[in-house]
Structure formats: C-alpha cells, structure tokens
Structure 1
C-alpha cells in the first residue's frame, strides 16, 4: 500500500525548470507579436493629388489620404484630423504623390502670409526659382545716388514665381519676384518699395534637381 502511494506522489511531481522554460517561451512569442503588430500599424497621411506650387490654396479634394507606416514621425506630415476647415496654403513646392509635410503648408485663413511682388536692383541668382526660400535685403536710399547699409527686410520668404520682364526691359533678365511675406512685414516691404530702396534677395536653400 505504501508503494502505491509513493508512485502516486512521483506521478504528480513538477519540475520548476519546466515552468521557467514555458514562461520564457510565452514571453518570447508575445514580444514577437507586439513587434510585428507595431510594424504593421499604418497612419492615414495626405499626399498631393497633383503638383502644388507655392501660394496654392488646397482643400481636402486636392489631397489623397494614403495609409503609410510613419513610426514616430507622424507629426511631421498633414493627416486628415489636422486639416483645418479653411484649407491650407502651400509655402514650399510639393510634387505630385509626395507626402504633404506640415512644414510645407500653413493655414489659408488668419494673419500669416500674403504675396507681394518686389522689384530687385541686382541680378537674380541662378539657383532661385519657385519654391526657393530667400532672405530679402533692403538698403535705404539716402539721396539720388547713395544708399545706407543693407539690412534684412524679410527673412525666409518663400518664392511664389519669377515675374518675367516685358516691354523695353525684357532683355534685362528677371528682376522681380512674387514672394510670400508675413502680414506683419507687409508694411515695411511696401514702404521700401515706395521709397525705391535697393532690394536684393539671398537664397537660404536650393531646391534639389530632379
């Protein structure tokens, strides 16, 4: 009888090492599942339906929601829940099919930027074009032939377009630009234009060639 009881006790004996191994397997499987689930997680982000130029106003119909894997970079792009009711204004050229960066657009309403055409008194750098970001420098006119020291009139203004010369000055090259200026700087820009100050632009960035 004692032999039978001893066999029963040995039958239900449990090795702790087996339990530890089982827990490690479960943890490993769970970790792999979480990693795979995180890798498969996508976010709806807007892409441009067609090429968008600086100064364009865009609404939801101009954009295409696209599911992409962004990881921790979701805040860098425009998502459907971040699109304001008044739409957006483009401040940097966006190619067709490109994800729309939050840094390349601004609110279309409010008091942010407006477009102004400035006439330059110096030649335009060859690497400046639509989508370029420039600093606008101005030297105040002191008399008919002299100017004061130049200062930055507007920093980091986006170029909307190059204004082609017409008439008698057509052969002199491009000397005017349409730029996006913060509305708080418009008065200073218009004053400089009215005073016929010397105005020049210096590129801050250079668009990549395609």
Structure 2
C-alpha cells in the first residue's frame, strides 16, 4: 500500500488571535451604532408648527403656532421646538406656510426683513392662488405711448408676497385691495404706477411658496 496522505488538522481559534478580537469589536460596534440610530429615529421631539401663514415681518407669536411631537431624527437643530428658544422681538424673515414646521432660519429681527408693504387696489376678484402668504407677480399695464390705444403689460415685481386681502364692505361700496410685500428696491416703481392710477394686476403663482427676502 502507498503512503497515506497526511490528514490536515484544523486548529481551534485562539481567543488571543488579534484578527478574532478585531472582528468581535467590529460586530459589537455595528450593533451598538444600529441600536443608537434606531433609538434616535424613534424618539419624538417638540416642534412649532404654523397655525396659519406667517409672512415676513410678522411677529413670532405663540397664538400663531402650535406645539406638536414629531420624529425629526437628525433634523432637531433645524426647527424651533418651543417659544423659549425664540428671541424677544423676533419676526419672520420669510413666509412660513400653514402647517409648516417653523425653521430657525426663518426667525430674525425686523432689520433683517427687506420687504415693504404696499396696498394695491383691485377692481375684480383675484384668483384663488392669491391668498395670504402666497408669492405673486405684479403686472403693470399701460398704453405704449401717450397718443396710442395699444397697451402693453410689463412684469413689474416677480416675487411679491401677499400679506392681507381686503375684500371691501359687504355692500360693495369699496373695491378690493391686496396688501403685498415687495422688495424695497421696487417700492418706488410700484408707488409711481399707483400715483398715475394705472392698472396694476396681482397675479398668483400656483404652487409657489413665500420667498426668503
């Protein structure tokens, strides 16, 4: 008979083997990190939510907000949690829509707001998209020349924000008016058009939200 092939013996792993120790450490670390992540994602935290649209320049008032518990994960530092975290005299620096979480980035002081309120008379009913907090366009329509019957519409302000709508008296004695917030650099042009009693239309931008000033 030929010589038998030597049998290979499997050595038992030694607990002092560095590779085994490193492997155990990695497994334990991954389990702990996963458990920590799941725990953080399942935790709820208080956050302020707007009851109704808050436009730039509006005071951050508790009456306009409600506290809800939500799972924010790693976004807890992005939103305001309680009124105690809001500085005294704080105002909104951009539009916060109804039902929107109040971002800390939207909280500032009056000096941070570069928009100015202007009241625009409107003869006809405005579109459904023209509501408080909505972004709108202001279009100026005027004759092309002093002796011409042709008119031309020009986009005067592309990013105004509706602050309030005055629908006039119930008897229709007054025309409708829309108070809008316009960039300070455009106030002069808007007032010039209004002083000439020329047509200025407030056009809604469907789907658009308030823009940061």
Quickly name the TM-score band, shorter chain normalised.
0.5 to 0.7
Distance 2:134 2:183 in 1: 16
Distance 2:139 2:78 in 1: 31
Residue deviations 1:134-180 (CA, integer Å, cap 9, x gap): 11111345438746532222122121222223498x289x6421111
1:125 and 2:156 correspond = no
The one of 53, 77, 95 equivalent to 1:91 is 95
Distance 2:67 2:147 in 1: 57
CA-CA distance at 1:132 after TM superposition:
2.3
TM-score by length of 1: 0.65
- More helix by proportion, 1 or 2? 1
Structure 1 residues 99 and 150, CA gap change in structure 2 (3 angstroms): same
Aligned residue runs from structure 1 range 60-79, under 5 A: 61-62=62-63, 63=65, 68-73=70-75, 77-78=79-80
Distance 1:125 1:29 in 2: 56
Residue deviations 1:31-85 (CA, integer Å, cap 9, x gap): 323323442566653334x435546733364445656432454576445697454
1:163 equivalent in structure 2 = 166
Structure 2 residue runs of 5 or longer lacking an equivalent are: 1-12
Structure 1 residues 119 and 108, CA gap change in structure 2 (3 angstroms): farther
2:157 equivalent in structure 1 = 154
Structure 1 residue runs of 5 or longer lacking an equivalent are: 1-12
CA-CA distance at 1:185 after TM superposition:
1.8
Structure 1 residues 76 and 57, CA gap change in structure 2 (3 angstroms): same
Structure 1 residues 74 and 146, CA gap change in structure 2 (3 angstroms): farther
Runs of 4+ in 1 over 6 A off after TM superposition: none
SS in 2 for 1:149: strand
What is the aligned residue count? Answer: 190
